[in-house]
Structure 1
Amino acid sequence: MSENNPLRDVFDAIADPTRRRLIRLLAEAEEIPLHELASQFPMGRTAVSKHLTILKEAGLVLDRKVGRETRFRLNASPLKEVQDWLAFYSKFWHTNLLRLNQLLEEEEE
């Protein structure tokens, strides 16, 4: 589970390509109303709203009401958990590729 919000794991939230696209759209704008987000997908507002709820449960999306409209914005801080996880494996691959390179160089000699 995510330390940022116990309702949903951030890895679960970003597992779906639609939600990753929503994160990208939100990252490119300061704040976006639901109807504008929904217009970017071949699905209805209800489906987009369900994806946004999952992102909210993981702490990745914040929303606010402006009159009858709901506007959404990205809270990228939970993505630090993903970055930290990937950094560990990046070191793993870097070390193993260095070893492979050394073996290849030794075989050439």
Structure 2
Amino acid sequence: MIEAANITTVLRTLADPTRRAVFERVAGSDEISVVELTRGSGVTQGAISQHLKSLKQAGLVVERPEGRNVYYRARPEGLEPLADWMDHYSAFWRDRFANLRTLLKEIDP
């Protein structure tokens, strides 16, 4: 079964729209620095750093320091609790779609 603490952490972390946007930018690049994430975001570097800290604690990103810069990359396996949770309920949706398909065939043979 799904570990409640892990899914709760991931969902809470990604619930914040700014943090989700930061994660999407990190996931959309091989590696990205705090400076690059701040540029054009409309958010301060301090705020970006705090969001990255939360993402790191949730296991969604990893960091690599290099000199004065810190580079971040997405950690896809960090989304596993979310994927597992969604997979757990996929049977519900499969049944609903099967019922919808049957209903549509009855309405429009």
Q: Same fold (TM over 0.5)?
A: yes
Distance of 1:2 and 1:40 partners within structure 2: 32
Match of 2:88 in 1: 88
Query: What CA deviation, in whole Å up to 9, does each residue of 1:36-95 have, x standing for no partner?
Result: 011141110011111111101101111122111111111110101111211233331121
Name the Cα RMSD after superposition.
2.1
Q: Structure 2 matches for 1:42-53, cutoff 5 A?
A: 42-53=42-53
Mapped contact 1:2–1:78 kept (Cα < 8 A): no
Unaligned runs of 5+ in 1: none
Match of 1:37 in 2: 37
Are residue 62 (structure 1) and residue 62 (structure 2) matched?
yes
Mapped contact 1:60–1:77 kept (Cα < 8 A): yes
Mapped contact 1:2–1:9 kept (Cα < 8 A): yes
Structure 1 stretches (4+) deviating beyond 6 angstroms?
none
Superposition deviation, residue 31 in structure 1: 1.2
Q: How high is the TM-score relative to the length of structure 1? A: 0.81
Distance of 1:98 and 1:23 partners within structure 2: 35
Letter in 2 for 1:38: T
Question: Which of the pair is proportionally richer in helix?
Answer: 2
SS of match in other structure, 1:37: helix
Match of 1:102 in 2: 102
Letter in 2 for 1:76: P
Letter in 2 for 1:83: A
Match of 1:25 in 2: 25
Are residue 2 (structure 1) and residue 6 (structure 2) matched?
yes
Unaligned runs of 5+ in 2: none
Q: How many residues align?
A: 105
